[in-house]
Amino acid sequence: MGVDVFFVISGFLITGIILSEIERGQFTIVGFYERRIRRIFPALFATMIVGLAVGSFLLLPSDLEDLGSQAVSMTLFVSNFHFANTSGYFDGASELKPLLHTWSLAVEEQFYILFPLALVVLDRFAKKRKARFIFLFLIGSFVHSIWAVEADPIAAFYLAPSRIWELMIGALLATGSVPPIRSHRFRNIASTAGLVMIAWSVLTFSSSTPFPGKAALIPCLGTALIVHAGTSGETMVSRILSLRPLVFVGLISYSLYLWHWIILVFFRQYFATLHLAGSATAVALAISVVISVLSWRFVERLFRDRQRISRRPIFIGGAAAMAVTLGAASSIVSRDGFPERFDAVVVEFAATESDASDDDLAEDVFTRLIGAKGAPVQTFVFWGDSHADALSGAVSKAAAEANQSGLHATMTGCAPLLGVYRDYARRKARAIQCREFNDAVLRAILADDSLQTVIIAARWALASEGRRYKNESAREILINDDASSEVSLAENKAVFIRGLDRTLHALKKAGRKIVIVGPVPEPGFHVPRSLAMRERIEGEREVALPYDEFLVRQDFVLRILDDFAGEYDAMLILPHEALCDRSRCLVERDGYSVYSDEHHISRKGAAGIYRIFKPIFE
């Protein structure tokens, strides 16, 4: 909500300044960008340069390389494009991206590239219709935002076309076209209502709320009410916001915005967790406040003082800061995050990834050929989501030893549950995609009589429970089908049972041999990073998954899979029997990480348990 509030205020303040200068005949593009550089550059580039320096000591190679990429994109003020393009399924949690918060600053600066010129043109050729044109742009961007939230939610969140309307709300207020509120009583009502709208948004919106779109209208209009009521006269809210502690927070707010996130991320990286303990969070925020006060006092105020630093040094210094940051960040990226900083064992743990299979590509819904190379006929199908994809190397190796070949059909996030929609943050396109994919896989299986064995695998617990595990940071997953009375977490288990029953029934009716692969244990923490940081700090930090925690998480799934295996005469393969003993489940073996992230088994991890799949091909 802070971003939306910020955009409205920014649009109001900056537009007001520009219009005032135009009215007095004092506006110049050079003067405008001088103010922007004085306001934005010093604290921003201080944050990035210090961040790169600290990251060079603290961060693991891939994380440092990612920080370098982020710094390059932010130096060019296109970090919102960078994050929009790197927000895929396997691109890491947003809580571990040190410069993620700069996307909003990039959007703002992109807006102010053309907007001042547009105001000059409007003042010259359509002076009395400025507000009308601003309103039309506002409506156009808002309509686009509503559309984009459904069509391309990541782009809708990060890119300017879906956000410009928020700045335009503030700009519209600055034109003076909205009549002032004369009544003191109504000003208080308006400002209080605005505060309630913002608070309601903060308290009720969640990661499942499609955003920005219609939802963002509530905090934006709330901010507009507070701003407009306050500029019309004194209000109770404006008096509260005028209290000295809150004014001081406002003074350091830009530095606090820049510093708090990168410090929190560094703490998360050090402790290898997305969710810091309360004490660690308190320390991180305290450090953020102290550094922000110093940044405001000795960086921001210094460069805003025109008596001490004139225009020419400002532009030269801004260009120099960009050049230094680009050079340092590009060097980090080109050297892959300087892995030579660490011992080989740290690098080995940190480099564990979900490697692509070496198997040949297949056609249609089948993504790859797996198993024995050159086999004339494919006799099996391995069907599932990204957990199945992670296990495909193990299945492929077991099949190859039996001189058998098969097909691989997986789609990220789509468990092989026929007739089931995955309601991904209530976005219809994603929900339909899963059902259509699974229907297509079944049709392809039934159309080829040589495909006599069907192996299904998925992250069953997520589908049935709907909740992520432990320290994972992502949306809840709601599933539904045509028999659902509602879309809710409470409905997930019933939908899961019906969907799995449909799948097994269809395969059994077609005379196929069915193999169900049980759940891979979910550590719930980023295993490679945790193992690497354990070696990095040479501490006694324990990295393990207790077996009893695995049983609690998978209790429902294990019971349902066992029941269905008996009902449909299916073979049940249980990966945890190869990964766990009665005390804990393995997360490392022979110097490598068994997992590539919080829950996907790594390529080496899968290879280490391939023997459990050999009975399928006997």
Q: Supply the pLDDT for residue 206.
A: 77
Q: Which residues pair with 477 in a beta bridge?
A: 424
Q: Supply the pLDDT for residue 426.
A: 46
**Is residue 92's pLDDT more than 70?**
no
Inter-residue contact 448 to 503 (CB < 8 Å): no
pLDDT digits (tens, 9 = 90+) for 319-358: 999 999 999 999 999 999 999 988 888 888 887 754 545 5
Tokens of 479: 């599933």
Q: 36 CB contacts (<8 Å, ≥6 apart)?
A: 109, 112
- Is residue 424 packed enough to be buried (19+ CB in 10 Å), middle (13-18) or exposed (0-12)? buried
Q: Supply the pLDDT for residue 353.
A: 58
Q: Supply the pLDDT for residue 431.
A: 61
CA–CA gap between residue 58 and residue 78 (Å, rounded): 26
**Is residue 149's pLDDT more than 60?**
yes
How far, in whole angstroms, is CA 615 from its chain's centroid? 40
Closest listed residue to residue 496, CA positions, set 418, 590, 602: 418
Tell me what percent of the residues of the chain surpass a pLDDT of 70.
94
Q: Which residues pair with 368 in a beta bridge?
A: 361, 408
Q: Supply the pLDDT for residue 425.
A: 45
**Is residue 424's pLDDT more than 80?**
no
Name the pairing type of β-strands 571-573 and 513-517. parallel
**pTM exceeding the 0.85 threshold for the entire prediction:** no
Q: Supply the pLDDT for residue 226.
A: 95
Backbone angles phi, psi at 517, to 5 degrees: -95, 120
Tokens of 554: 């998978």
CA–CA gap between residue 441 and residue 384 (Å, rounded): 10
Tokens of 136: 């039309």
Inter-residue contact 163 to 107 (CB < 8 Å): yes
Tell me which of 308-317, 435-444, 465-474, 480-489 is least confident. 465-474
Q: Is 218 helix (H, G, I), strand (E, B) or coil?
A: helix
Reading phi first (left if > 0) and then psi (alpha if -120 to 50, else beta), residue 524 is in left
Closest listed residue to residue 217, CA positions, set 192, 189, 194, 249: 194
Under the banding of pLDDT at 50, 70 and 90, the label for residue 312 is: very high
Tokens of 324: 């230094």
- Is residue 95 packed enough to be buried (19+ CB in 10 Å), middle (13-18) or exposed (0-12)? middle
How far, in whole angstroms, is CA 194 from its chain's centroid? 29
Average pLDDT over all residues of the chain: 90
**Is residue 428's pLDDT more than 80?**
no
pLDDT digits (tens, 9 = 90+) for 381-400: 999 999 999 999 999 999 99
Element (H, E) at 270: helix 244-271
Q: Is 147 helix (H, G, I), strand (E, B) or coil?
A: helix
Tokens of 505: 């029934």
Tell me which of 27-31, 220-224, 340-344, 610-614 is least confident. 340-344
The residue with greater pLDDT, 163 or 151, is 163
Inter-residue contact 568 to 576 (CB < 8 Å): no
Give me the amino acid identity at 361.
L
CA–CA gap between residue 377 and residue 395 (Å, rounded): 17
Q: Supply the pLDDT for residue 594.
A: 92
Q: Supply the pLDDT for residue 294.
A: 97
Inter-residue contact 574 to 518 (CB < 8 Å): yes
Inter-residue contact 302 to 43 (CB < 8 Å): no
Give the helix ranges, DSSP H, for 510-546. 527-537
